[in-house]
Amino acid sequence: MKKVVLAYSGGLDTSFCVMYLTKELGYEVHTALANTGGFSAEELKAVEERAYKLGAKSHVNIDVTGDYYGKCIKYMVMGNVLRNKTYPISVSSERTFQALAIVNYANSIGADAIAHGSTGAGNDQVRFDLTFEVFAPQVEIITPTRDMKLTREYEINYLKEGGFEADFTKMEYSINKGVWGTSVGGKETLCSATNLPDTAYPSQLKKEGTESLEIEFKNGEVVGVNGEVVSGVAAINKLEAIGSAWAIGRDTHVGDTIVGIKGRVGFEAAAPMLIIKAHELLEKHTLTKWQQYWKDQLGTWYGMFMHEAMYSEPVMRDIESFLDNSQRNVSGKVFITLRPYTFTLVGIESEHDLMNAKFAEYGEMNNAWTADDVKGFTKITSMPLKIYHAVNPDEE
C-alpha cells in the first residue's frame, strides 16, 4: 500500500480527503496537523480522534510554534513587516511553516505522496505546492478538493455515505487562528464597499478607560512585559491577552494575491501590532537614518517574499543576517497607553537613545557647531540646486 501524508486540520475539506484517499485511491493515509498556535490541547485531541474515525492509519500533531517564532516571526518584528502597511502577514506566513513541517514528516516516514485540501482560488495552494516541490521533488502531490472542484454539499454527502457524520455547518465567518494573528473572512470582505461588524471578531471589547503597558526589548526581541521577564511565543501570547481585551489590532487588509487577483480579509492581531509599533518607535531612537532607510527596504522585500511563498529563496537568509546585525543597539523599554480599539505610543527609555547625546537639543540649543558652521554647510549643500535652477530658470 502506498503511503500518503495529508496536511490535516480536521475541517470538512481535509476530512473528505482522508476518506477519499483511502477508499477511492487506495492509499495508506497518515494525517499530520502542524500547529502554529491556533489549537488548544482539547482541539488537538478532537482532531486526532476524528482522523482515526475517518480511516487514517496514523496521526501526528506537530508543534512548530518554536520554529515559526525563531525562523520567521522575530525577523518580521525586526523588519517591522506590515504588508501594504497594514497586515502583519499572520496566517500567510504560518502556511509556509506548516508546509515545511508536513514535508519533513513525509520524508521521515518515506511517503509516496503528500496531500492537502486547499482549493484552487487562494494563496495556500501555492504555499503548500511550492514547499513540497522544493523539499520533496520525488513525491506526488495530491489535491482532491482543488482538482475535483468540490462543493461543501458533495463532501458532506460523501462522508455520510461512507458512514461518517459530523457537524460541518458552514460558519458565517471563516476564522484562521495562529500565534501571530487571526484572519476573519466573510460576506463583507468579498466586496469593496463593506466591512466586518464587531461581532465577527473572535475577541470582543472587555475593558474601558485606559491602561498602561510596558514592553522591554533586547537586541530587537521582546524580553519583558510590564516588568515580567517573558520572551518568544510566551511574550506574544501574554501581549495578545492584554491587547485583545481592548479589541486592539483589528483591520482589513487589501492586497494582491499570489495567483494575481485582488483580495480582502479582516484580521485581529493585538500582539503583532503592539510589538511591531513599539519596536519601530524604539528603532527611531536607537538607529541612524540610513539604518532605518535600508531596513525599511529590506523589511518590505522580506514581507513580500514571505507572503508569496518564497521563504526558501536564499536571499531571505541574507536579509535575516542584515536584520540580526541591525538590532545590536535596539534595546530598551517602550511605554504604551491602551484604550478601546487603539493605543498610543508614549515614549521609550534606552541607554542607546540617540536623543540623549549632548551635542544639541532639536529646536533649542547646540554645543557642537556655530552659526557660521551652519551658514557654510547650507551654502555648500545648496550648490547643486543653484546650478540646476540657473540652467533651467523656468522651473520652480
**Per-residue pLDDT tens digits for 282-307:** 999 999 999 999 999 999 999 999 99
Judged against a pLDDT cut of 80, whether residue 366 lies above it is answered with no
Judged against a pLDDT cut of 90, whether residue 180 lies above it is answered with yes
Residue-level pLDDT at 367: 79
pLDDT confidence tier of residue 360, bands split at 50, 70 and 90? low
Residue-level pLDDT at 310: 96
**Residues shown for the chain:** 396
Residue-level pLDDT at 318: 98
Distance CA 199, CA 356 (A): 46
H or E segment and range at residue 135 = helix 124-135
Where helices occur in the chain by DSSP H, the ranges are 12-23, 41-54, 65-68, 74-78, 90-108, 124-135, 144-148, 152-161, 232-244, 270-286, 289-307, 315-326, 371-391
Burial of 255 (0-12, 13-18, 19+ CB in 10 A): middle
| Mean pLDDT taken over the chain | 95
Residue-level pLDDT at 169: 80
Q: What b/e readout covers 183-213, taking b as 16+ CB neighbours within 10 angstroms?
A: bbbbebbeeeeeebeeebbebeeeeeeebeb
167 to 20, 26, 50, 159: CA distances (angstroms): 19, 26, 12, 11
What pairs with residue 251 in β-bridges? 267
* Percent of the chain clearing pLDDT 70 (strictly above): 98
N-term to C-term CA, the chain = 78
Judged against a pLDDT cut of 90, whether residue 356 lies above it is answered with no
Judged against a pLDDT cut of 80, whether residue 210 lies above it is answered with yes
Judged against a pLDDT cut of 80, whether residue 364 lies above it is answered with no
CA neighbor of 349 nearest in space, from 362, 363, 336: 336
pLDDT confidence tier of residue 21, bands split at 50, 70 and 90? very high
pLDDT confidence tier of residue 368, bands split at 50, 70 and 90? confident
- Higher-pLDDT residue of 394 and 166 is 394
Query: What pLDDT, in 10s, does the model give residues 269-286?
Result: 999 999 999 999 999 999
Distance CA 31, CA 51 (A): 7
Concatenated DSSP letters of 32-46: EEEESS---HHHHHH
291 to 274, 288, 329, 347, 356: CA distances (angstroms): 22, 5, 11, 20, 18
CA neighbor of 254 nearest in space, from 245, 267, 243, 263: 263
Q: Which amino acid is at 266?
A: G
Concatenated DSSP letters of 183-210: EEE-GGGGSSS----GGGSSS-----S-
Give the pLDDT mean for 50-68: 97
